[in-house]
């Protein structure tokens, strides 16, 4: 069983930065495609970024392009999301997922994806 845990959320002023981390365990010999998703109150969860297992394919939803950067350290089983120039509309619960479908144009989490519990990001105006 794969466990996924996010950290790094918090309260930040508009224009500020946060770096989210996601550690995974329980998949000693498998390197998964990884993704970041977010869900704001009253809205559906959306996939905002992903990175494939080798790190040579990434995806960003238009609303975060140029502001967020996804990266991974496979040796440390850790996924990152550097978030700069944060806006109030970025306020949401952010989730990390392992074993997602990741292409340069989309991220999808199927029934076999592994999810973390989420970390809250709040951006004040």
Q: 3-class secondary structure for the chain?
A: CCEEEEECCEEEECCCCEEEEEEEECCCCCCCCEEEEEECCCCCCEEEEEECCCCCCEEECHHHCCCEEEEEEHHHCEEEEEECCCCHHHCEEEEEEECCEEECCEEECCCCCEECCCEEEEEEC
What is the model's pLDDT at position 30? Answer: 79
**Where residue 1 falls among pLDDT bands split at 50, 70, 90?**
confident
What is the model's pLDDT at position 124? Answer: 98
pLDDT in tens, 47-100: 999 999 999 999 999 999 999 999 999 999 999 999 999 999 999 999 999 999
What is the model's pLDDT at position 28? Answer: 65
Given a cut of 90, whether residue 10 has pLDDT beyond it is yes
What is the model's pLDDT at position 26? Answer: 84
What is the model's pLDDT at position 31? Answer: 87
**Where residue 29 falls among pLDDT bands split at 50, 70, 90?**
low
């Amino acid at each position: 069983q794969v466990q996924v845990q996010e950290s790094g959320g918090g309260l930040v002023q508009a224009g500020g930065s946060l770096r989210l981390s996601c550690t995974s365990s329980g998949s000693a010999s498998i390197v998964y495609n990884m993704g970041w998703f977010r869900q704001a109150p009253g809205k559906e969860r959306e996939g905002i970024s992903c990175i494939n297992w080798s790190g040579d394919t990434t995806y960003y939803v238009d609303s975060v392009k140029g502001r967020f950067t996804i990266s991974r350290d496979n040796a440390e089983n850790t996924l990152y999301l550097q978030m700069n120039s944060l806006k109030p509309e970025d306020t949401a619960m952010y989730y990390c997922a392992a074993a997602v479908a990741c292409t340069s144009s989309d991220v999808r989490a199927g029934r076999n994806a592994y999810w973390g519990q989420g970390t809250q990001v709040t951006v004040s105006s």
